[in-house]
Amino acid sequence: MAKNIQSLERAAAMLRLLAGGERRLGLSDISSSLGLAKGTAHGILRTLQHEGFVEQDAASGRYQLGAELLRLGNSYLDVHELRARALVWTDDLARSSGESVHLGVLHQHGILIVHHVFRPDDSRQVLEVGAMQPLHSTALGKVLSAYDPVAHSEAVEVERQAFTPRTVTGPEEFESLLDLIRARGWASDVEETWEGVAAVAAPVHDRRRMPVGAVAVTGAVERVCPGGELRPELIAAVRDCARAVSRDLGAGRF
């Protein structure tokens, strides 16, 4: 087994020290507690300070835990919060596109549908909230695989099943598809998961530009992709919707 990195171990020990007991400690307290030379301790503290994990009190010169640690712990976006923020925008997307809209997040090697807006006709439809979709073939799955490194490694590592003759399964083909998605900012699924069904998806980002989910419009291939071409206004509408949700989550304009 490889040897652990000593400076990281020392940094971790400092954070534990600052988290327990007396909250603010001076440089000499820290170095003596951990049995380090002052210079070594100071170097590590400066690095931690630069990353925001440690803050130095201006008046006393003592150190305490930084706000960034708190943010790390709270960075997880509640999917129900995501749905609440997306509600008006996804309603509007369904209304303007005339197709059904899904909001998905990465969950256990697949896409979990957290919100579903019916296609705005009078047909009987079943709410698909809670359903899972595959990562490698759906528009939602592919767009997240392109933007989220965790989704990417999961999509790449599993065996990609061919659901239809059009499903992309080969590793090189799949990677170049993701490159294209990243370059264009959206993904499509034209009968790659279900025969007769096509979809377009775009990523939703949070305030730190992390991909937290994706929005997709899904419908019959004849309507979404007439004559084999995806309707450009549909792509624009999906991307507008994803941007609007991202803005509501605090992401800057992009």
Nearer to other proteins, 83 or 136 (CB): 83
Reference 198, options 178, 181, 218, 215; nearest CA is 218
Nearer to other proteins, 87 or 156 (CB): 87
Beta carbon of residue 241, minimum distance to other proteins (angstroms, whole number): 9
Binding site for other proteins (CB under 8 A): 74, 78-81, 83-84, 87-88, 91-92, 94-96, 115-118, 120, 122, 125, 127, 129, 233, 237, 240, 244, 247
Beta carbon of residue 17, minimum distance to other proteins (angstroms, whole number): 28
Nearer to other proteins, 121 or 159 (CB): 121
Nearer to other proteins, 62 or 115 (CB): 115
Distance CA 133, CA 214 (A): 12
Distance CA 234, CA 241 (A): 11
- 100 close to 119: Cβ distance less than 8 angstroms: yes
- 130 close to 112: Cβ distance less than 8 angstroms: yes
- 29 close to 40: Cβ distance less than 8 angstroms: no
Beta carbon of residue 71, minimum distance to other proteins (angstroms, whole number): 13
Beta carbon of residue 99, minimum distance to other proteins (angstroms, whole number): 12
Residue 66 CB neighbour total at 10 angstroms: 18
The token pair at 26 is 């001076």
Q: Which residues neighbour 54 within 8 Å (Cβ) at sequence distance 6 or greater? A: 14, 15, 18, 45, 48, 63, 64, 65, 66
Distance, C-alpha 9 to centroid of its chain: 29
| Terminal alpha carbon distance of the chain | 44
Nearer to other proteins, 228 or 232 (CB): 232
Beta carbon of residue 216, minimum distance to other proteins (angstroms, whole number): 16
Beta carbon of residue 130, minimum distance to other proteins (angstroms, whole number): 8
Nearer to other proteins, 54 or 103 (CB): 103
